[in-house]
Structure 1
Amino acid sequence: MKYGTIRIPGEPIWKTPFPDGRLVQVSESLGILGREVRETMQSALDRGFGGLQSNHSEEFSEFEFAAPLPRAYQFLDASAYVNHVDLVRRARGAEMPERFWADPLMYQGGSDMFLGPCDPITGDPAWGIDFEAEIAVITDLIEMGSSRDEAAGAIRLVMLLNDISLRNLIPDELLKGFGFVQSKPACACSPVAVTPDALPGWDGGKLHGTLCVDLNGAPFGRAEAGEDMTFDFGVLLAHAAKTRHLGPGTVLGSGTVSNRDADGGPGRPVADGGRGYSCIAEQRMVETLRDGAPSTEFLKPGDRVKIWMNDDAGNSIFGEIYQTVAPWEGA
């Protein structure tokens, strides 16, 4: 089954009297079903998440959708693809601790306001605006101390995520030793979230398939999401639940999807026959390792980012995240 959340017409969703939107079922071909239902995604998760029982299909437009879960009780983001972490450290000449391959990296991010798939990216270009294409899951209740299999069994929905990052603000925040706040603004989500049983590429803990990223209409990333994922979602969720319960509606992101080359190298741009990258920072890291300095710029006003995944027949699974960087009007 596929689901999404329709915006209530009017102001941006966080300014309306209905910030949680209205849950709809989405057909396999991405038609809207069940528009008449008066329910939110969170209430459906709380009651056990059954089908909406509607057969009337309407035209689909990403611009009509909010994030599947516009407000979540909890958002966690991991670095499941340790190749990405390895590149970050190698580019600055730092050794990576061996324990990073066995002990997941994870932080708790803002969840009070997820962006819809077509909401603009805003911010000062001097902050180093970047996208991060990720896979994310939405869970049912996971009790403290759950095993990997128990945690994986509580995954109710899978979606795509753009974890927008402000790269030039990250170093100072990390030096404080207290995690991200300013450098991690609201994430954007795909319009559609899909139950695991409706995903042929789902193996119980990972989603196999090509995660596509275009930047300004040109291919930027074609990473294989099921490869090089050091920690699957079951492992990540069990890690998060070691000392706490995870409530229904917890969102967990995979971190930047990242692949090595077949020879173990750091990966090549799509234009050079490689799989490319799921964020600009990773391409800049590879440029630093190869050329001694990065040459690709971070995002600027007018830049367009598209993130999506197709099935084997070429049909979009989750719809598209399609965002434009808006002119900055801040101080």
Structure 2
Amino acid sequence: MKYATLDNGTPDGQLAILSDDGQTCRLPQGATLQSLLDGAEPSPKGAERPFDETTCLSPLPRAYQFLDGSAYVNHVDLVRRARGAEMPDRFWHDPLMYQGGSDSFLAPTAPIPGDPAWGIDFEAEVAVITGPVPMGATRDQARAAIRLVLLCNDISLRALIPDELSKGFGFVQSKPACAFSPLAISPEDLPGWDGDKLHGTMHVELNGNPFGRADAGEDMTFDFPTLIAHAAKTRHLAAGTIIGSGTVSNRDPDGGPGKPVSDGGRGYSCIAEQRMVETLLEGEAKTPFLQPGDRVRIWMEDDEGRSLFGTIDQTVAS
């Protein structure tokens, strides 16, 4: 099944259940995606109507919990090197994860707010929404709890991160509200889903130019069952918990840090990675972080070139 949430002026929006081709939808009266995840039976669906993804909120406009991992350790390595920090060996064996704000997500076409001096960056990610997960869940229990898959733009304020992390107490100011794709899809209906991760190209475009073409199924050190079980080690997870993969990141076949799309590589899913590669190869970072008016588009396609989740299409606010 394919689900979306339409903006009806309420905090949780109106659930939309899409047709197989995604061209039309039906609106169960008074239903939200969270109520569906909680086990409520949808009320009778209204008449079939055209679906317009530009009217969508994030599938869960707010969630009980958003936990974001860093499953692509190549990204962790590059970004830490950009901060002059070494990466402990345990990062290859024990996932990183932070608890992000979840009381209000941006719509997939909402402007990105913020001061350019904060170093505004996008991060293209895959995410899953879970049903209830018991504390101490096994990988099998975690896998069985995955209800929906979607994409995320996890916005980061790079200039604020070093000072905040130096306090030893995690992200707060440097991780503002993020946005999710218009559609969330059941795993069984999703091409490229193997039960643990999503295989497919993460398309990222900056100001109309190809920026990233990384494969989400490659170089993912920690898959979603691992991330979910990690999150549930000491707590129960409520239905509607969102688990992010962290920035999708690939290495070159020769083991290098990756090349820009313009140089025949797969590019990057955030600006920080490109800046780190520029620093490694040229001695300094040249690509600026986002400025007012910059436009970021994030999407994935099926084998026939059709958009799977719709498009996150955001412009930095003036």
Q: Write out aligned runs for 1:1-331 (5 A).
A: 1-8=1-8, 16=9, 18-47=10-39, 56-327=47-318
Runs of 5+ consecutive residues of structure 1 not aligned to the other structure:
9-15
CA distance in 1, matches of 2:104, 2:221: 29
Q: Is the 8 A contact 1:139 1:251 kept in 2?
A: yes
Moved more, 86-95 or 231-240: 86-95
| 3-state DSSP of counterpart to 1:47 | coil
RMSD: 1.5
Identity score, percent? 68
Q: What secondary structure does 1:258 align onto? A: coil
The one-letter code sitting in structure 1 at the alignment partner of 2:149 is V
The aligned length equals: 318
Counterpart-to-counterpart distance in 2, 1:204 and 1:56 = 34
1:90-123 C-alpha deviation (Å, 9 max, x unpaired): 3445432110000000000100001111000011
SS in 2 for 1:149: helix
CA distance in 1, matches of 2:173, 2:14: 30
The amino acid that maps onto 1:21 is G
Contact 1:19 1:70 in 2 (8 A): yes
Tell me the alpha carbon deviations over residues 226-283 of structure 1, each in whole angstroms, 9 at most, x when there is no partner.
Answer: 0000000000000010000000000011000000001000000000000000000010
SS in 2 for 1:313: coil
Instruction: Give the deviation of 1:59 after TM superposition.
Output: 2.6
Return the letter of the residue paired with 1:318. Answer: F
Letter in 1 for 2:7: R
Q: 1:91–1:289: 8 Å Cα contact kept in structure 2?
A: no
Partner Cα separation in structure 2 for residue 51 and residue 42 of structure 1: 11
CA distance in 2, matches of 1:160, 1:58: 24
SS of the residue aligned with 2:3? strand
Aligned residues of 1:173 and 1:183 also touching (Cα < 8 A) = yes
C-alpha distance in 2 between matches for 1:90 and 1:250: 31
**What one-letter code is carried by the residue in structure 1 that aligns with 2:301?**
N
Match for 2:34: what amino acid? Q
Counterpart CA distance in 1 for 2:80 and 2:310 is: 34
Q: Distance in 1 between matches of 2:159 and 2:83?
A: 14
Query: Residues 163-211 of structure 1: CA distance to partner in whole angstroms, max 9, x if unpaired?
Result: 0111000111101111111110001010000000001211111000001
Alpha-carbon deviation of 1:152? 1.1
Moved more, 159-168 or 50-59: 50-59
The alpha carbon displacement at 1:56 in A equals: 5.0
8 Å CA contact retained: 2:27, 2:46 = no
> What code does the residue aligned with 1:7 have?
D
In structure 2, the CA distance between the partners of 1:308 and 1:53, relative to structure 1 (3 Å rule), is farther
- Normalising by structure 2, we get a TM-score of 0.97
| 1:107-152 Cα shifts (integer Å, max 9, x gaps) | 0010000111100001100000000000000000000011011101
Q: Distance in 2 between matches of 1:258 and 1:144?
A: 30
